[in-house]
Amino acid sequence: MLKIENLTKSYDKKTKALDSLTLSVNEGEIFGFIGHNGAGKTTAIKSITGVLPFDSGTVELDGISLSKSPIAYKQKIAYSPDNPDLYENLTGIKYINFICDIYGLDGEKRRLNIERFAEAFEITADLGSPISSYSHGMKQKVALIAALAHEPKLLILDEPFVGLDPKAAHSLKLFMRELCDNGGIIFFSTHVLEVAEKLCDRIAIIKKGVVIKEGFTSEVVGDSSLEEIFLELVE
Amino acid sequence: MKTTRFLWQSLKYNLNAIGVGNKFKSSSTGKKIAFSLLFAFLLLYLVGMSVGLSYIVADFLSPLGLIDMLPLIFFVLVSILMLVTSVFSSQSYLYKAKDVEMLSALPLSNRVILVSKVLAMYVYDLIFAFIFLVPSSVFYFIYADFSVIGLLSAIVIILLSPILPSALGMALSYFVGRTIKHIKYKNVFITLLSLAVFFGYQYLVSHLGTVVEYFQNNAYELHGQISRYYPPARLFSDGLSGKLLSTLLFAVISIALGVLLILLIAPHYSRICANFKQTAKGKKFAFQDAKSDSNKKPISTLTATYKKELYRFFSSSTYFLNTGILFLLISILFFASLFTERAFLVQVLNLPFATDFLTPLMCAMLCVGIGSVYTTAVSISVEGNKLWIYKSMPIKEQTVFLAKILVSLTVTLPVLLVDAFVLFIGLELEPRDLVLLVTVPAVYAVFTAVGGLLVNLMLPKLDYPNEIIAVKQSAPAFIGMFGGITLPILVGALAYLLKVKNLVLFLCIAAGIFAALTLLFVQLLRTWGVKRFRSL
């Protein structure tokens, strides 16, 4: 279970990018994080991945605290950012292998996982090329393979569908569901409300660093559409 | 009006990209003072060097009645300097500029975009022109006749001087870039090319005596040859002596060439940039071919990080050539001159007390060479916008630091060991000397590696349009390199000032101090460094 309590972050000590953010996500859930630009989605995601230090609050996964045991916490998570800036001098396969080395994923399992995800994202043939030759979508695919390959308990994705072709986007949705069916957790942000509505078990809408609506998708949406609810709430 | 405003904003952005503008505007007073001091030191260093050189050359030429050659020589030198920098900077600022696609989408003509890029290069080159041509012009006026027309000519020509070499540099850079684009091992080619240039330069320097002799014997012919092969230099010299027509001719040629170049390149600029940015793809990948990736044994996080850092270092010619290769080159050249000048060596060895100062001197020289390696001082900066990868992975900050330090030691220690053994055998030293030759520089290698990392954590440069800014033009790069080289020289100067008799003991004490400082730095890295890394 992912537990976020009173997460607060300020960049300039005046305005709070995150104001006592409190959320919890259970095993098997796909959790959608929605908000307009500058609402605090990426700040929240970077904080719970350990990329950005936060001012106060706690982040725990299965009782393991990010602040107290960062290595043990990070061993169980994977992150793919909205803008996949990867090591341009490495080839795709070298980058993925480097990530697998750090997570301690060994031989056969590593090969099978990478092969499976690479085939699904149709990028196998290009894995031997330097990342500098990749398009945005190809970099996104490599970042996703690296994130999925070590079978994380918690997968954190920031705008994962941006830049992906329709087939890859479809494959990603299947992999997300599969990971959750195996007891994993997905925490992802998106601006594509139709995707969030169809894919997420639970959603939270964030505005100015504060969660203004949270719950099961069916409860939040009710008889309207997520788009209508979102526009109504953020106005 | 709109175009002028864009060009001004673009110029400001380009200056800020290398950190000049931002550092002066920094909110912290401490940072402002530190940067101002650093900037003042660099400027004084370069101006001082130029003034000194101008004086020496002027003083040498004047009695020979050849003072007219002073502006000629300096114009040729600064033109070569600007040509070389333009060849390299054109790649990053002109043809591979990251913002060209974005700018092309704006209601701006290709010509305006190109001018904005060329303008930035012009300003950089103008700094060189001021530093090297102003002092030589002043000394010309002191040693020769001064005239108001000469002064006006100097101002006009200095202001326009970057145009010709920059234009040539841009054209050369284009052809070099087009050629190496199709070469598979591009980095190897660039490295070999740079080595050839370096050794060529060193050959020239090592034969400076012959050059000076040739210069003395053939001064008049040389004057004619320079004027014939590089007429702008002659125009500069004539302009200073008050020939207004030469100045006007120089101005017309420079402006015409600049305009012509812009008009020629502008229509194709977007296409050229797109071509330059394309990276060659590798051969089609297949899992059954990737033997190394199947059944791979798990490796430690340190090994994985070290491997990645080492690959990162050697796969970037910018990183590798600027931060790591000088020690190896200096060693090769040093040994070449040591053993080719055998007579001089025997003379030195026969000096009284030679054995007392030879080993400490060699130790100091090895330390200076090691100081030129500053891989760790930019190792955080080169992560740039990829820092999220390390920060989101289950890896200790100390492991990342250690991997970066190990890369630095991988560059320095093998060369040091070879150097020490060659010196031990070549100079017929005692085993005790060999121990000193290995341990003292090794301590310094660890000190500079750890210290460099601390400097980079203190002053990281993570936001840049081109890697060369982080590797060459950032504050940590400057501190890393000059600091590393200067410290052993300062220690040597201290020994000289204190008239130290037992240099070996002094060296051991200095090494002890460096070792103690290294331990302190390591402790700082484990505490403050970890916190700082997390906050980046």
Residue B530 lies in a domain: yes
Region A43-64: mean pLDDT is 92
Same domain assignment for residues B264 and B330 = no
CB pairs under 8 A between A and B: 122
pLDDT at position B208 is: 57
Range of the domain at B9: 2-277
* DSSP code string of B438-504: HHHHHHHHHHHHHHHHHHHHHS-----SSHHHHHHSSHHHHHHHHHHHHHHHHHHHHHHHTT-S-HH
Q: Do B285 and A53 touch (CB under 8 A)?
A: no
Whether residues B93 and B207 share a domain: the answer is yes
Tell me how far apart the alpha carbons of residues B66 and B60 are, in angstroms, rounded to a whole number: 9
What is the DSSP code string of chain A? -EEEEEEEEESSSSSEEEEEEEEEE-TT-EEEEEE-TTSSHHHHHHHHHTSS--SEEEEEETTEETTT-HHHHHHTEEEE-SS----TTSBHHHHHHHHHHHHT--HHHHHHHHHHHHHHTT-GGGTTSBGGG--HHHHHHHHHHHHHHT--SEEEEESTTTT--HHHHHHHHHHHHHHHHTT-EEEEE-S-HHHHHHH-SEEEEEETTEEEEEEEHHHHHTTS-HHHHHHHHH-
Which residue has 């204190």 as its token pair?
A: B498
pLDDT at B294: 47
CB contact under 8 A, A104 and B298: yes
B224: in domain = yes
Residues in contact with B218: Cβ distance below 8 Å, sequence separation at least 6, in sequence order: none
Between B30 and B81, the more confident residue is B81
What residues contact residue B293 under an 8 Å CB cut-off, 6+ apart? Answer: A93, A97, A110, A111, A114, B287
Asked if A225 is an interface residue toward chain B (Cβ–Cβ < 8 A), one would say no
- Using pLDDT thresholds of 50, 70 and 90, give the confidence band for residue B34: confident
One domain, residues B336 and B266: no
pLDDT digits (tens, 9 = 90+) for A173-203: 999 999 999 999 999 998 888 888 888 999 9
- Are B405 and B270 members of one domain? no
| Residue indicated by tokens 């234009």 | B167
Q: Which residues contact B4 (CB under 8 A, 6 or more apart)?
A: none
Q: How many CA atoms lie less than 13 Å away from A80 in the CB half-sphere?
A: 29
Phi and psi of A50, rounded to 5°? 90, 5
Q: For B146-198, what is each residue's pLDDT tens digit?
A: 888 888 888 988 899 899 888 888 888 888 777 766 666 666 666 677 677 76
Those residues with Cβ within 8 angstroms of residue B76's Cβ, 6 or more apart along the chain or in another chain: B226, B230, B233
Q: Pairing state of beta strands A154-158 and A16-25?
A: unpaired
Calculate the average pLDDT of chain B.
Answer: 82
- Residue B49 makes CB contacts below 8 A (sequence gap 6+) with none
Test A125 with B307 for CB contact under 8 angstroms: no
Question: Are A132 and B279 an interchain contact pair (Cβ–Cβ within 8 Å)?
Answer: yes
CB atoms inside a 10 Å sphere around CB A123: 22
The pLDDT score that the predictor gives to residue B187 is 65
B210 and B321, same domain (yes or no): no
Are B278 and A72 within 8 A, CB to CB? Answer: no
| B284 interfaces chain A, CB cutoff of 8 Å | yes
Q: Which residues of A touch B311 (CB under 8 A)?
A: 89-90, 94
Residue B125 lies in a domain: yes
Higher-confidence residue of B340 and B494: namely B494
pLDDT tens sequence across B497-511: 888 888 889 989 999
User: Side chain identity at B282, as an amino acid letter?
Assistant: G
Cβ proximity of A28 and A186 under 8 Å: no
pLDDT category of residue A8 using cuts at 50, 70 and 90 = very high
- SS3 of residue B132 by DSSP: helix
Is residue B433 within 8 A of residue B424, CB to CB? The reply is: yes
Q: Which residue of B296, B304, B535 is in closest CB contact with A110?
A: B296
Residue located via tokens 């007392």: B356
Question: Facing residues of A215 across strands?
Answer: A203
CA distance B503 to B279: 54
In sequence order, what DSSP letters do the residues of B323-374 get, joined into one string?
A: HTSHHHHHHHHHHHHHHHSHHHHHHHHTSTTHHHHHHHHHHHHHHHHHHT--
Please indicate, yes or no, whether residues B428 and B462 belong to a single structural domain of this protein: yes
B293 within domain boundaries: no
Q: Are residues B401 and B325 in the same domain?
A: yes
B291 within domain boundaries:
no
CATH code reported for the domain at A2-76+154-234:
3.40.50.300
Residues 6+ apart with CB under 8 A from B145: B241, B242
pLDDT of B24 > 60? The answer is: no
Highest mean pLDDT out of A35-44, B200-209, B386-395: B386-395
Q: Where are the domains of chain A?
A: 2-76+154-234, 89-151
| B214 and B341 part of one domain | no
Q: Are residues B48 and B116 in the same domain?
A: yes
- The predicted structure's pLDDT at residue B119: 86
Tell me: pLDDT of A30 over 90. yes
What length does chain A have?
Answer: 235
Q: How many domains does chain B have?
A: 2
Task: Indicate the SS3 state at residue B66.
Answer: coil
Same-domain check for residues B327 and B223: no
If DSSP codes are grouped into helix, strand and coil, which group holds residue B111? helix
DSSP β-ladder status, A202-207 and A30-35? parallel
CB B376 within 8 A of CB B405: yes
Residue B102: its H or E element: helix B100-104
Choose among B295, B303, B385: nearest Cβ to A107.
Answer: B295
Give contacts of A150 with chain B, Cβ < 8 Å: none
A89 in reach of chain B (CB within 8 A): yes
Cα distances (angstroms) measured from residue B106 to each of B3, B32, B113: 12, 35, 10
Q: Does B184 reach chain A within 8 Å, measured CB to CB?
A: no
A46–B contact, CB cutoff 8 A? yes
**How many whole angstroms separate alpha carbon B516 and alpha carbon B519?**
5
**Which pLDDT band, with edges at 50, 70 and 90, does B337 fall under?**
low
pLDDT single digits (tens) B316-335 = 877 887 787 778 877 877 77
A125-175 tens-digit pLDDT: 999 988 988 999 999 999 999 999 999 999 999 999 988 999 999 999 999
Q: Which residues of chain A neighbour B299 with C-beta distances below 8 Å?
A: 101
Does residue B188 lie in a domain region? yes
